[in-house]
Amino acid sequence: MLGLMQDWPLLCHRIIDHAGTNHPERTIVTRSVEGPFHATTYAELRARALRLAQRLDKAGIRHGDRVATLAWNTWRHIEAWYGIMGIGAIYHTVNPRLFSDQITWIVNHAEDRLILADLTFVPLLEQLAAKLPTLERYVLLCDRAHMPQTSLKNAVPYEEWIGEVDGDFAWKTFDENTAAGMCYTSGTTGDPKGVLYSHRSNVLHGLMANGADMKGYSSRDVVMPVVPMFHANCWAMMFAAPMAGAALVMPGAKLDGASLFELLNRYKVTSTAAVPTVWLMLLQHLEATGGKLPHLKKVVIGGSACPRAMAKTFQDVYGVEVIHAWGMTEMSPLGTACTLKPEYAGLAGDARLDIQQKQGQTPFMVEMKITDDAGRRLGWDGKTSGRLKVRGPSVARAYYKEEGDVLDEEGFFDTGDVSTVDRYGYMHVTDRAKDVIKSGGEWISSIELENLAVGHPKVAEAAVIGVKHPKWDERPLLIVVLKKEQSASRDEILKFMQGKIAKWWLPDEVIFVDEIPHTATGKIQKTTLRERFKDFVLPSAAAQ
Amino acid sequence: MLGLMQDWPLLCHRIIDHAGTNHPERTIVTRSVEGPFHATTYAELRARALRLAQRLDKAGIRHGDRVATLAWNTWRHIEAWYGIMGIGAIYHTVNPRLFSDQITWIVNHAEDRLILADLTFVPLLEQLAAKLPTLERYVLLCDRAHMPQTSLKNAVPYEEWIGEVDGDFAWKTFDENTAAGMCYTSGTTGDPKGVLYSHRSNVLHGLMANGADMKGYSSRDVVMPVVPMFHANCWAMMFAAPMAGAALVMPGAKLDGASLFELLNRYKVTSTAAVPTVWLMLLQHLEATGGKLPHLKKVVIGGSACPRAMAKTFQDVYGVEVIHAWGMTEMSPLGTACTLKPEYAGLAGDARLDIQQKQGQTPFMVEMKITDDAGRRLGWDGKTSGRLKVRGPSVARAYYKEEGDVLDEEGFFDTGDVSTVDRYGYMHVTDRAKDVIKSGGEWISSIELENLAVGHPKVAEAAVIGVKHPKWDERPLLIVVLKKEQSASRDEILKFMQGKIAKWWLPDEVIFVDEIPHTATGKIQKTTLRERFKDFVLPSAAAQ
């Protein structure tokens, strides 16, 4: 028997309808790419998104078509998402930080028909345009006055373009499982993979993000999404904030410490989110200038592990609550957040920071398990580490244009991370599955060894990889870049590490190099290192 | 094009799975119907709900079957809901406060196969049993030691009954639109109507209730649902609390001021919810004993309008934030909550109380409009009142066993309330549509006149109905019950009201009566009054 409740599909444009109707005067302030501050409201933003939807429709963009955006966080970029989704087309956020070859590859793979781009990226696009045959038109996110001279095909200023329709338009209606957005992951190996969000997954994900133990926005919040809209679906903020009627402060192209500090205080931002690198710049600026953060209440830190010292400084010096979070593009992206359950809520000082080093708890609608390599579930004791796998309505089951699902027999997606989970459900990422070193049937975390090694005063950067060993299968090799004008010996480094880890975790050898290779997004390229050292013979192996 | 996210149906038992897995040790404390306090955890509760599901399955309860509950708020009642839903059967909460004829009618209309009942209700059931032929078995919510002598068919103690299976069972899987629960509305006219919630509507409604501007539970909350589980789906609390991992305190059968006060402080309740009558008893108890509420942060007050003095006392005397809320059985039931948007958040004292007299803002997934009798939308100016209509995934579209949808052409459900909405989206119920007095094309709120009349020191209760008028169509007639040993004249009452309302709102006549008729749930039975006074000739009409 079916229930007798209304059929009300979970469509993303209902979110901007809600904000525009019930929070019509709430502001969205942007540091525009052109320069000046710009302010609008949810009512205006909704009206302009409808106008864009109408203009796209007039341009022949149809249900299922991909429309690329190459843009910073601005009010126009939000309009773009909602306008594109509102006719059943798909926003495809292109990450300008990728290598140009990757950008070309994903625009062609997605077969984007249009691109909406900020002025910043015109030179890049002019350089790539010849290799982007599917793009019929370049819409530049500016008005006529700011329109540059450009060779880009059918280039037109956004304001003029959407001004060509009257705005008398209604959202299209369709199944809630219709694709809404697309974001490519850039792994350290192979081609990028396209994740295809649906209206349903975006709406449910926004609801999930608004739980009190996640981002938990209210209409009284002023939210600054520093994490770019082209990064992992903007961490749910473009859905969660308007759903809650929260005000938005959009930082545009300037993400340096001084610029963010100005926005945080000028607009009384209460909640913000970004990767550690950004917050390092902000904290350096604060330290240099003596600046304070009287309005900011919460900072979400994710994308990579939140350094302990960063959490401590935000909390102890500036009185800002740190929420260490974890997720991935394939998870829309929210997976866990380290807010404190009652079991931990009473902790202070180091004990609290210890817990906050974990990535935290899942919300309802994210299920997780850890397994061994054979797929058997492992216990939640806070010590046993295993492959982290997740399930839920905002988790991917497949990649765009790839055959079949990537899920296990229980429907879980393998995150590629290795983690522990404690008895209270707190997940802690200990390594990437492909980087973990398997020594004598046990797992050694490359990340822990690297973190320990960079604690040595002479070490600038460290990478640990597993190399073959006749007895132990693999043993850790530590690769080190020393700080400028420093010298150190193998024994000096290993002695520093001794006693701080289990004895059998100690790397078998230390190699000093000038440079460690990185991906476009700044991750250590361990595949290159493994290739380079694949025939390396450890002293301990040679002795066998 | 469809998205590529996981198919993860919104099924209610996933909520208790989440709580049992991620908040396994969080407690559910009950003042048991038998007497002593009882404590359990989400992990245990989930395990026992699974056991009940297995036992129901063994008893031949199938997908779509209705299982009644006639029970107070206890841990066993929560198990009952989840156990019943977990095999695709339907929990049907029977309200023991209904007249016995109504109880008989709804159990027969629902064709309930089993009933799970508290000991309190055994005498009532024994009296009705002969008229309840569909019930195959009475499961009494107790153990063998507390089992009474009873003539009820196949009566068995719950604990013994679920002890007959081993608990090795998995939830069934089905479409998320499957019916999950059923609750009958008892209107002031006609037969009760069955609202049939789905798994999807319950899950979405729980998510909605957990928004920061609604109930907004976190894992650190201790939630006491005083509103009974048999009242309007327990105001979402049975879904929202375990979803958030909040602890629960279940008050059982004792809802008097002293009993609730004991629970609030003993278990450090942070958030609670009930109708004004309950809070009146608590406030009287506090005043009499000098009790304080050091732990309670939020009290949700709904079911009927929250008196201004009640809001003021909770906030000013006890430091508890009042959330005036509105909803109805057909809305799962949450419609609005009067939390403060930034436009109002700075208000204090009387200005704040003025706003808090409104029923407040809708969450995302509740859409509302106000219309005139012809269905035309009216503006949101805080003054114009119209019929309040709502739309959303947790709003009913039809009633059980009744033909066709009850929605308007835009898919909105007519709440039967008349309200204003202000520019910031705050809804204020001014009357019931059938009670509003239509005088010369304008609407007069019977509720406002009644509230004003009971402000007179000699008036115990007041009801206002419209009576026919040759010129104005209808004019208000005020019906008054005086306090004991008081006497008053027509002119004395009208003079008191004069100047406090628009002149043309003043009732044309005052009638003094000994008693005003009420429904089983305590509402004034205006149909009876209208019938009684249908031929009443107003002096103003006679003069025409």
pLDDT of A524 reads 86
Burial of residue B328 (CB within 10 Å: 0-12, 13-18, 19+) is: buried
- Residues above pLDDT 70, as percent of chain A: 99
Binning pLDDT at 50, 70 and 90, where does residue B519 land? Answer: confident
In angstroms, the Cα distances linking B541 to A211, B352, B388 are: 58, 42, 31
In angstroms, the Cα distances linking A488 to A174, A481, A496 are: 64, 10, 11
pLDDT of A519 reads 79
ipTM: 0.93
pLDDT of A425 reads 98
Considering only alpha carbons, which residue of chain A is nearest residue B247?
A342
> Among A72, A75, A279, A443, which one carries the catalytic annotation?
A443
* H or E element, residue B370: strand B367-371
Mean pLDDT for all residues in chain B:
95
Q: Which residues pair with A437 in a beta bridge?
A: A444
Binning pLDDT at 50, 70 and 90, where does residue B142 land? Answer: very high
pLDDT(A537) > 80: yes
Q: Do A177 and B391 touch (CB under 8 A)?
A: no
A214 CA: distance to closest CA in chain B (Å): 9
- Letter string b/e over residues A3-15, b meaning 16 or more CB atoms within 10 A of that residue's CB: bbbbebebbbbbb
Tokens found for residue B533 = 């006074």
Q: What is the mean pLDDT of residues A197-213?
A: 98
CB < 8 Å to B213, chain A = 218-219, 244-245
In angstroms, the CA B331 to CA B208 distance is 12
**Contacts with A, B 453-472, CB within 8 Å:** none
pLDDT of A542 reads 75
Do the beta carbons of residue A459 and residue A449 sit within 8 Å?
no
pLDDT of A543 reads 66
Question: HEC states along B80-103?
Answer: HHHHHHCCCCEEEECCCCCCHHHH
In angstroms, the CA A307 to CA A322 distance is 11
**Which pLDDT tens digit goes with each residue over B147-194?**
999 999 999 999 999 999 999 999 999 999 999 999 999 766 678 999
In angstroms, the CA B540 to CA B530 distance is 18
| Of A22, A361, A364, Cβ closest to residue B15 | A364
**Which pLDDT tens digit goes with each residue over B372-383?**
999 999 999 999
Q: Is A220 on the interface with B (CB under 8 A)?
A: yes
Q: Is A208 on the interface with B (CB under 8 A)?
A: yes
pLDDT(A73) > 80: yes
pLDDT of A187 reads 64
Q: Is B332 on the interface with A (CB under 8 A)?
A: yes
- Residues above pLDDT 90, as percent of chain A: 90
Residue B264: φ, ψ to 5°: -55, -45
Q: Is A340 on the interface with B (CB under 8 A)?
A: yes
The residue ranking higher by pLDDT, A46 or B540, is A46
pLDDT(B465) > 90: yes
Q: Is B14 on the interface with A (CB under 8 A)?
A: yes
Strand segments (E) across B397-483: 413-421, 427-432, 437-439, 442-444, 459-469, 473-482
Q: Do B3 and A217 touch (CB under 8 A)?
A: no
In angstroms, the Cα distances linking B402 to A3, B194, B195, B392, B412 are: 13, 9, 11, 20, 18
Q: Do A8 and B413 touch (CB under 8 A)?
A: no
Do the beta carbons of residue A161 and residue A50 sit within 8 Å?
no
Binning pLDDT at 50, 70 and 90, where does residue A518 land? Answer: confident
**Contacts with A, B 172-201, CB within 8 Å:** 175, 177-180, 195-201
Q: Do B196 and A7 touch (CB under 8 A)?
A: no
CB < 8 Å to B245, chain A = 213, 341
pLDDT(A286) > 80: yes
The contacts of residue A531 (CB under 8 Å, 6+ apart) are none
Interface test with B, best of A178, A185, A297, A364 (most B CBs within 10 A): A364
Q: What is the mean pLDDT of residues B311-330?
A: 97
Interface test with A, best of B5, B92, B111, B238 (most A CBs within 10 A): B5
CB < 8 Å to A217, chain B = 212
Interface test with A, best of B6, B198, B223 (most A CBs within 10 A): B6
pLDDT of A367 reads 98
Whole-structure pTM value? 0.94
Q: Which amino acid is at A154?
A: N
CB < 8 Å to A24, chain B = 423, 425
Binning pLDDT at 50, 70 and 90, where does residue A544 land? Answer: low
Interface test with A, best of B270, B336, B364 (most A CBs within 10 A): B364
Q: Is A402 on the interface with B (CB under 8 A)?
A: no
Q: Do B1 and A332 touch (CB under 8 A)?
A: no
In angstroms, the Cα distances linking B243 to A212, A366, A425, B131, B456 are: 11, 11, 14, 39, 46
Long-range contacts of B35-38 (CB under 8 A, 24+ apart): B38/B74, B38/B75
Considering only alpha carbons, which residue of chain A is nearest residue B331?
A5
**Which pLDDT tens digit goes with each residue over A235-245?**
999 999 999 99
**Which pLDDT tens digit goes with each residue over A235-285?**
999 999 999 999 999 999 999 999 999 999 999 999 999 999 999 999 999
Mean pLDDT for all residues in chain A:
95
Neighbour tally for A410: CB within 10 Å: 12
User: A293-297, A317-321, A532-536, B5-9: lowest mean pLDDT where?
Assistant: A532-536
Residue B98: φ, ψ to 5°: -70, 160
In angstroms, the CA A240 to CA A218 distance is 10
pLDDT of A346 reads 96
CB < 8 Å to A411, chain B = 6, 8
| Of B179, B212, B362, Cβ closest to residue A210 | B212
| Residue B185 bears catalytic tag | yes
In angstroms, the CA B4 to CA B6 distance is 7
In angstroms, the Cα distances linking B137 to A521, B33, B54, B116 are: 65, 21, 16, 9
Tokens found for residue B359 = 């029923």
Strand segments (E) across A310-445: 321-327, 334-337, 367-371, 386-391, 413-421, 427-432, 437-439, 442-444
CB < 8 Å to B411, chain A = 6, 8
In angstroms, the Cα distances linking A467 to A435, A453, A474, B204 are: 11, 18, 5, 50
| B149 DSSP 8-state letter | P
Q: What is the mean pLDDT of residues A463-483?
A: 93
A474 CA: distance to closest CA in chain B (Å): 35
Do the beta carbons of residue B370 and residue B420 sit within 8 Å?
yes
Q: What is the mean pLDDT of residues A50-71?
A: 98
Q: Which amino acid is at A391?
A: R
**Which pLDDT tens digit goes with each residue over A341-391?**
999 999 999 999 999 999 999 999 999 999 999 999 999 999 999 999 999
Neighbour tally for B116: CB within 10 Å: 26
The contacts of residue A521 (CB under 8 Å, 6+ apart) are A95, A97, A98, A186
In angstroms, the CA A195 to CA A180 distance is 11
Q: Which residues pair with B198 in a beta bridge?
A: B179
- Dihedral class, residue A440 (left if φ above 0, else alpha if ψ from -120 to 50, else beta): left
Residue at token pair 């297995």 = B54
Do the beta carbons of residue B402 and residue B409 sit within 8 Å?
no
Tokens found for residue A288 = 């240099």
